[in-house]
Amino acid sequence: MRKIVIAGNWKMHKTQGDALAFLQEFLNYLTETPDDREAVLCVPFTALGTLSKNLHGSLIKLGAQNIHWADEGAFTGEISGDMLSELGVRYVIVGHSERRQYFGETDETVNQRLLAAQRHGLTPILCVGETKEQRDAGETDSIIAAQISKDLVDVDQSNLVIAYEPIWAIGTGDTCEATDANKVIGAIRAQLTNQDVPIQYGGSVKPGNIDEIMAQSEIDGVLVGGASLQAEGFARIVNFQ
């Protein structure tokens, strides 16, 4: 039975005060949330402590946006698995396209970060996706297949979420057709040894398109950027029909 995971990625938004204000409003909207799904907030490192102290007993799980592959050491600016788990973090995004594009992440470093997350008992959300040029050239399936096979070397598929995020759909308002995303996600699943890995879609998900996306047979949740910053809208996404 595949778990449904609805995750928000705040990226570099919200101070601690903003995060607390969001949480108070968000919790009010979640009172009717069905218990068949997990809601995750992947927030900046600076907001993890504050949210962790105020989440008790709620449905929401805490997530980070990156993790270093070493357990400790001379890695200025990086954060280790122990530092995250002591704050009550349960999920961590790994290999987001913004990390790959702006911060030089490669499939090799993504793989090392996935292994580190699992070593520390965290569930990584591995992001994969193709560019517009790759899609137009008909390379989507081969690009995604290569990412999956390189990123997942030695990774335990029983503690993993994958997010299919076409890069051209992220932050553009240009959502991938739900049926197209469903096909790509089906192809990802066919490559996995564990058929219970939840696979999300990400890319301009909003309250207006969540029901169509979640109606697809292969899609087990969403990773939401911009629309997760607003409590009422994100609650509508979590509460999809």
> With contacts defined by CB under 6 A, how many residues of the chain interact with ligand PEP?
13
Q: Is 203 in the site for ligand PEP (CB under 6 A)?
A: yes
Is there a catalytic annotation at residue 96? yes
CB of 39 to ligand PEP, least distance (A): 15
∠ Cα 56 35 91 (to 5°): 55
Is there a catalytic annotation at residue 13? no
CB of 170 to ligand PEP, least distance (A): 4
Q: Residue 18 and residue 41: Cα distance in Å, rounded?
A: 14
40 beta partners: 7, 61
∠ Cα 37 213 217 (to 5°): 75
Residue nearest to ligand PEP (CB): 225
CB 126, CB 161: distance < 8 Å: yes
Q: Is 170 in the site for ligand PEP (CB under 6 A)?
A: yes
∠ Cα 54 25 123 (to 5°): 50
Q: Is 166 in the site for ligand PEP (CB under 6 A)?
A: no
* Residues of the binding site for substrate: 9-11, 171, 204, 225-226
**Interface residues toward ligand PEP, by CB under 6 A:** 9, 165, 170-171, 202-205, 223-227
Active-site residue list: 96, 165
